[in-house]
Amino acid sequence: MLDMPPPWSPKLFVNKDKFLDLCPNGEKTVFYKKCKVDFYSECSQVDGIVRRVTVYKDFKRLIVEEIRSYYKNRKDNLVLRRRFPYQFKLVEHYDSAASSHYWKKIIHIDGRVRKIYFYHHRNKDGLIYREEQIGRKTFERYKGREDKLVYRSVTFNPDISDKREKDLTLNDNHHIGNKNKGEAIILKMTQKFTLDPEIKAEEQVRRTEFNLAKGRVYIYKHYNSGRITTGSETYIRDELIGGDAKVGGDMNDKDAGESQKAQTNKRILEMERKCHEQIKD
């Protein structure tokens, strides 16, 4: 048996650091039809980007349609960012982790809308979706809450020049043009609740609407099985506030207790107060 002669070239050696770069200096660019891809070695960039894909509308690659940036090893668990320059739109995707806010996806449309999707295993408050229509309305959707709340919305006006004493306010972080540090007047607050099968449907609240602009409070009950109509109640907000202020004046009466109407007024005002506090939080 004869051995093969030894090779004339020296032994192949690859530096480990250069091998991890995958390309010279840790960066590489490849052009495709209507597309450009930039590769970066892992942990070589400050923001953690490993690949950027730029999609163009034309063959000359002048009009950018979308920019996709992929990330790794970020503290905020951001893995993908999609930017649409001509739509002023930004979409971000996140991995789930116990140390983060459980954000799954965030959509920004500059000056108009911001949407936040949460992972379903977020169990602190049951929030799964939030949408902010900047300068006008904010609403949230919930899942698996003990109080059966599934929806809450608030409509507001950033202009507080005609603010009254009985008006409720909240902090609008997107509007900082007034003297009250972004404070806005609440026009309407709405809540929706799902049905609890262990309690009679006609005794459960399906929807509450506190319309501060009209000075009205609307309460709608759930539908009974096989019924197409349901109970509803309408109250005048000023009368509720006035009636609640007079509750302590009947202490010398024989019953020495609150009347049924006073108890109802107090319960509705408590619902409004709790809804307002949760919206501010």
- At residue 245 the predicted structure's pLDDT band, cuts being 50, 70 and 90, is very low
Beta strands, E only, 148-272:
149-157, 169-171, 183-193, 205-211, 216-221, 232-236
For the purposes of burial, counting CB atoms within 10 Å of the CB of 91, is it exposed (0-12), middle (13-18) or buried (19 or more)? middle
Q: What is the predicted pLDDT for the residue at 111?
A: 83
**Shortest CA distance to 195 belongs to which of 206, 186, 182, 185?**
206
How far apart, in whole angstroms, are the C-alpha atoms of residue 64 and residue 218?
A: 49
Of all residues in the chain, the percent with pLDDT exceeding 90 is 41
- At residue 38 the predicted structure's pLDDT band, cuts being 50, 70 and 90, is very high
pLDDT of 136 > 70? The answer is: yes
**For residue 63, how many other CB atoms are within 10 A of its CB?**
11
Three-state DSSP class for 46? coil
How far apart, in whole angstroms, are the C-alpha atoms of residue 119 and residue 160?
A: 36
Helix pair angle (260-280, 237-245), 10° resolution: 110
Q: Are strands 127-133 and 113-118 parallel, antiparallel or unpaired?
A: antiparallel
Q: What is the predicted pLDDT for the residue at 253?
A: 54
Write out pLDDT tens, residues 76-88: 889 999 999 999 9
Q: What is the predicted pLDDT for the residue at 258?
A: 61
Write out pLDDT tens, residues 151-178: 999 999 887 777 777 788 888 777 655 5
